[in-house]
Structure 1
């Protein structure tokens, strides 16, 4: 009902002027009809169409038109409105009011929008001209063009303003600024400029000032929102046509009244379209700029996240292309592949071309990087990296082919490097360890098998006397004892490097006394006062027990072992402990090797597993200490010297 009242009111207010043709010159009701059906009626038939038909007929009858002409004009008004709605919904489905939610903010949408109105209203004008000519006779070409002009003018200003206003009122907050890039002061200035320029142009009819009117439209279109620009065109259009109808202004000065009306109508249509083109172009440009800024910000954020992730990876990572250019790298890659002076560069590709494996230089086809660049996925290829001035390192390399760089026509690959030097050494050590263990366990097992077989043979022959049986059993016990000792040392060797340290104050003197008592050697072990240390008591007991046990074991025949343990502070943080014996000593060439697994300096004369001193060194090293073997400076025998953290210094450091 609101639309019906508005349509009827505008139609009655814009009565026909002299020479206007079928209908009123100022026809805002035409735009109201399209906006009415566009917003209110999803289908083509319904109550709104019927109501529009009724009020249109009433409006045309009241203006004094012949009943037949009034019926024809009514049918034409309703038909062109329905056709405009159909075309707008089909050609502009994304617009608010036409099936979508977007405002009229893109020039590419403006073209089909204007085309829909031009086609619908052009066909309406053609039908009206032909119909009136058939009823009243005579040529109605000028009247048809005038009909088209006023309806197009009305539709452009009314429908555009209505759709933009409706979209703004129904859109969620926050909304775009109504003033656009301008402020209230500029709005007042632009409004004053419009009023002054239009006043001068319509008062000074003899002066060619009409071109200045376009400047006001450009100002509003470029500086204010599209809605405000459309409202400006609406008000300016009403004012232009109203003044023209009342014989004021340059368009009213045209000799033919109908031609003056037509020029005024197309002027309003022109400034309306010009304003929309400029405003929507500005909106699209701003949207693209905002999208570009968002894309740049997202790209910068994603790049920062990528750099942070890549930089936090402990493995070396690079992206390289087939020319050797380094596209991406992290700090770990620079540390692994470079000389330590800075990041890698495309010129420092020596790290990519100097790998060798198993002592043989890799050719181009064997390098993991070259394989990945050829499209092959590489998993954990181990190579030896040799860089001048640095120790050899073993790297585990994985390569993944990346999508080809189509712009520069280059293949790319992601390479991941991991330093496995220690793991490689541990594997070699484990392999050696397993071989020695198998050998050392096999010997006592062979002896046990041999002696038990001899026992079985003697029993089968009935010749086994008690003395021989005791001798055989003693041999078996000796072999099983050696196996038990080896297994015990193997277990100690494994746990000495894996169990967590439980640090607490340890009294070395009390520990030595307990070990000596357990070995029934109290009269052969002397311990001087030793400062307390901060250590794992279980592991340190094991280390000291091994040293004292070796000192008791490795003595010359007929010599009573004499062992002395003493200690002193070494600076403010360490305690140096010495274990001195009068044993057979260690040859100079063997003093470092005795700490290796399964190495025995006197393997021919003394039994053992060769693990005792390696266990000691592993325990001392885990406490950040060192151990060395020297000759006894006071006579025959050896001196083992190791360091441990001092208890009070460590406690003070922890307290600080």
Structure 2
């Protein structure tokens, strides 16, 4: 067994494959010689060439088994053996030479095409035999092309020997060699796979008793068909279909070859409908066509069955993996702290997790899961107080306060995302993510108040410090060493003022109450109308026309755009005026906005870090003043509106693109219905 396994060719090119041991070469040489003698015995009286040549298939298998670097050895041995057998059995020397050359060329062409077209085939770099109808068709085409080349050379040999040549000569030569390659080569290749590979049984395979019954019926039926003169040979094809549908392809091919061989032998013995023909060449052609047809039927049905079995096995594995992933996903969602609720296209709850059910029972104590979830979704999507200052979570906007039965307030941070084709029929659903932020928001409100008071109280002394420093600097000589120190102190006071403003802005963005309304982005009343004031005289602000309106807090949105456009005007390259382009598009219930600049850009490794508080990228840290709070404020504003923000590289660069999403305006978006 180990010696046979050495014949496998794991490399697509065949390089590195172990060469055949000498004893295998000797055995293959003897086998080919025996088959050549058998082929020569089928030469009928008055004819020059054999009626069948099984050695054609044996030569192809031998060449496939051998490593390509030793093909010359196989072809040389085939040439010598073929010529020797032909000469010893009385063939003319012209036919001996050209017949041997035709077989060698034919074998080389077939194997070369098989290795080129069928890399998954055993002996061509793969580990399989005829496992698909396409592979069988490619092998048959390679055999046909090689046999056509061989028939042309062989016909020339017949003509050179002085034998009569007519239109049937190349046809007969092609038929005998094509039959040999397909029947004996196909059987040999399937036997090779059966011996060296693990061949799975049919998914709906038959038993051994059925196999014995099939063989008994097939041999009896084929004998009866060819022992009477009526043209009933087509009935034998049904037996090949039965065999290929119930058993592995190798057993089906062996069965088809046995059935066809019975008909072939009985026809040569003078029995059956083909024996009625007077010309033995025509008899041989018809029986070869019958033999090839029966075998190809068995191989075709078997290959199709193999392909179906592979697809069924693959589908079964995919279903098992999908079931495992679904179970894992269910476990993950159940263990999440955030509540997940999936709604269908009319707003009914179709799926939820444990966290969402716990929140629902706080809203509706004592109710069953379905009723509690329904009440929770209604209060989340349609707040009781319907004013412009109430967030609209159906559009993906942040916090939703819910008054509980005991008088307490539950604050939920809500985000919404569309789910397409939830039911597989094109109907869309909705995913709600609910996160309780009650204590967080309660803790931030005093902090925001403190930040506002502290900022106000600090500005007064800081303004006085800046004034006295400026006055002192004006009274000193610019060449005085103390003058430079006062200038540094003045710059430090300016930086402190910027930091106080940014800290206050960040606290208000994170903890301040949102009052979302429909806000136009472009136009005379849009939040971008005054954005051009942030740029210098040589800078350019390009705002796309007809930007979709958003549903957001106007103060927060103005601060968001002011920070992004201000950064574009601030972080510029030397000698290059700033150019900032603002564009936006609708995407479902959201508006995706892009702010692109042509500045110094952000390194790829820094594009997520720059949204952290006080973090500044390496490209700007050494050359530009700042506190590192601007982008953190932007992220807070976007997240409180249920969106995300990211930094991308400009294309073409240099520069940066800040992409974020905000809820679309109510006037342009339909509410999600709730049953």
TM-score using structure 1 length: 0.58
Aligned to 1:571: none
1:107 to 133, 148, 156: 133
1:371 aligns with 2:402: no
1:197 aligns with 2:217: no
Shift of 1:95: 1.1
Aligned to 2:471: none
Shift of 1:404: 5.8
**Mapped partners of 1:25, 1:294: distance in 2:** 49
- Per mean C-alpha deviation after superposition, the further-off stretch among 70-79 and 338-347 is 338-347
Secondary structure at the residue paired with 2:68? coil
TM-score using structure 2 length: 0.56
Is there any run of 5+ residues in structure 1 with no aligned partner, and where?
373-380, 439-656
**Mapped partners of 1:247, 1:6: distance in 2:** 29
1:4 aligns with 2:22: no
Aligned to 1:227: 250
Aligned to 1:260: 283
Secondary structure at the residue paired with 2:396? helix
Gap change, CA 1:346 and 1:425, over 3 Å in 2: closer
1:132 aligns with 2:158: yes
Gap change, CA 1:179 and 1:421, over 3 Å in 2: closer
Aligned to 1:71: 97
**Mapped partners of 1:363, 1:210: distance in 2:** 88
Shift of 1:395: 3.0
Secondary structure at the residue paired with 1:385? strand
Question: Superposed, which structure 2 residues align to 1:318-467 within 5 Å?
Answer: 318-319=341-342, 324=347, 328-337=351-360, 339=364, 340-343=367-370, 349-355=377-383, 361=387, 366-371=391-396, 381-386=398-403, 391-397=407-413, 399=415, 401=417, 414-422=431-439, 424=441
Gap change, CA 1:169 and 1:16, over 3 Å in 2: closer
Gap change, CA 1:118 and 1:20, over 3 Å in 2: farther
Gap change, CA 1:363 and 1:111, over 3 Å in 2: farther
**Mapped partners of 1:394, 1:347: distance in 2:** 14
Aligned to 2:292: 269
Question: Superposed, which structure 2 residues align to 1:482-521 within 5 Å?
Answer: none
Question: Superposed, which structure 2 residues align to 1:13-24 within 5 Å?
Answer: 13-14=38-39, 15-18=41-44, 21-24=47-50
Q: State the Cα RMSD in Å.
A: 3.4
1:245 to 268, 286, 308: 268
**Mapped partners of 2:250, 2:159: distance in 1:** 40
2:232 to 203, 209, 212: 209
Shift of 1:8: 0.7
Shift of 1:224: 0.9
Note if contact 2:396-2:414 (Cα within 8 Å) is conserved in structure 1: no
**Mapped partners of 2:50, 2:115: distance in 1:** 28
Aligned to 2:538: none
Shift of 1:96: 1.3
Secondary structure at the residue paired with 2:275? coil
Shift of 1:431: 9.7
**Mapped partners of 1:150, 1:213: distance in 2:** 21
1:151 aligns with 2:177: yes
Note if contact 1:16-1:63 (Cα within 8 Å) is conserved in structure 2: no
Shift of 1:281: 1.0
Gap change, CA 1:349 and 1:425, over 3 Å in 2: closer
**Mapped partners of 1:122, 1:346: distance in 2:** 76
